């Protein structure tokens, strides 16, 4: 995909030779939304085509079938997450700061596009059904690497006496849960608490709450370094 910034070529209408990259991107965007909203089974290819303003056959021209299109959507999402998160994990912050930065970055990524949490949550549950190679690929390429690195970070913090002795195999999923669950269950939450959980203010509130709970639940308070948890 060459970075052609072509604004000219007023393809006033849908010609035949329009802008391939844009069509492709439009399909991906529409598909992400549709998959996030209805799941793979519930997603309608016609609906994706309509929303992308493209003929349905074009989906099958760029992607072979529904499943492949879904794959592409997931790759998009998870690779984005991995990128931002690894930038933090590769830095050389001290344990506490790095852990908080990791959580904050994870949170911000999920919050940046409400399609992500819904997509992830759905994918988490899908692993049992279609145990096609595609889920394993996702895990191997994106999820597991992150998990391993955060696990190491936790171990280091524990050794340093900065963190309480927690089991990473449980603590990591707990962190993910607090972040992803909030967004994926936002519609229900809205009806329970009465307000919209997805306004910027509420999201900021949530961010603080998550960081606070993790700090309180993970950091030792009797250690030399007595700095409060701040991000």
Partner DNA sequence: CTATCATCTAACTAACTGGTTAATTAACCA
Partner DNA sequence: TGGTTAATTAACCAGTTAGTTAGATGATAG
Residues that bind DNA (CB under 7 A): 9, 11-12, 14-20, 23-24, 43-46, 54-58, 60-61, 64-67
**Region of 1-9, 65-73, 102-110, 165-173 interacting with its own copies (CB under 8 A):** 165-173
Instruction: Choose among 24, 18, 31, 26: nearest CA to 1.
Output: 24
* CA-based torsion, 19, 39, 144, 166: positive or negative: positive
Q: What are 3's two structure tokens?
A: 């970075």
Q: In this complex, which beta carbon is closest to its own copies, that of residue 14 or of residue 181?
A: 181
Binding site partner of 37, from DNA, its own copies, none, Cβ cut-off 5-8 A by kind: its own copies
For position 127 contacting its own copies by CB under 8 A, the verdict is: yes
**Region of 15-23, 69-77, 82-90, 182-190 interacting with its own copies (CB under 8 A):** 182-190
Q: In this complex, which beta carbon is closest to its own copies, that of residue 18 or of residue 42?
A: 42
d(CA 193, CA 181): 15
Binding site partner of 20, from its own copies, DNA, none, Cβ cut-off 5-8 A by kind: DNA
* Residue showing tokens 């999820």: 143
For position 56 contacting its own copies by CB under 8 A, the verdict is: no
Binding site partner of 17, from its own copies, DNA, none, Cβ cut-off 5-8 A by kind: DNA
Q: In this complex, which beta carbon is closest to DNA, that of residue 128 or of residue 227?
A: 128
Residue 106, Cβ density class (10 Å: 0-12 exposed, 13-18 middle, ≥19 buried): buried
For position 230 contacting its own copies by CB under 8 A, the verdict is: no
Q: In this complex, which beta carbon is closest to DNA, that of residue 2 or of residue 228?
A: 2
For position 65 contacting its own copies by CB under 8 A, the verdict is: no
Q: In this complex, which beta carbon is closest to DNA, that of residue 30 or of residue 103?
A: 30
For the range 55-62, what are the long-range contacts, defined as Cβ-Cβ under 8 Å and sequence gap of 24 or more?
Answer: 58/23, 58/27, 59/27, 59/31, 62/23, 62/24, 62/27
């Amino acid at each position: 995909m060459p970075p052609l910034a072509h604004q000219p070529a007023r393809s006033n209408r849908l010609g035949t030779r329009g802008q391939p990259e844009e069509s492709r991107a439009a399909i991906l965007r529409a598909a992400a939304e549709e998959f996030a909203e209805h799941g793979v089974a519930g997603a309608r290819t016609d609906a994706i085509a309509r929303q992308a303003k493209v003929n349905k056959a074009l989906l099958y021209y760029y992607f072979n079938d529904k499943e492949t299109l879904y794959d592409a959507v997931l790759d998009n999402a998870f690779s984005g997450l991995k990128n931002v998160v690894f930038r933090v994990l590769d830095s050389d912050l001290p344990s506490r700061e790095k852990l908080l930065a990791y959580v904050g970055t994870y949170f911000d990524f999920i919050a940046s596009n409400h399609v992500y949490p819904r997509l992830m949550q759905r994918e988490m549950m899908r692993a049992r059904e279609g145990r096609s190679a595609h889920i394993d690929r996702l895990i191997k390429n994106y999820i597991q690497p992150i998990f391993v690195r955060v696990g190491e970070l936790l171990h280091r913090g524990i050794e340093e006496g900065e963190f309480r002795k927690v089991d990473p195999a449980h603590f990591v999923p707990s962190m993910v849960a607090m972040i992803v669950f909030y967004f994926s269950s936002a519609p229900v939450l809205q009806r329970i608490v009465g307000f919209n959980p997805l306004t910027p203010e509420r999201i900021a509130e949530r961010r603080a709450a998550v960081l606070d709970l993790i700090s309180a639940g993970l950091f030792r308070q009797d250690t030399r370094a007595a700095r409060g948890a701040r991000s």
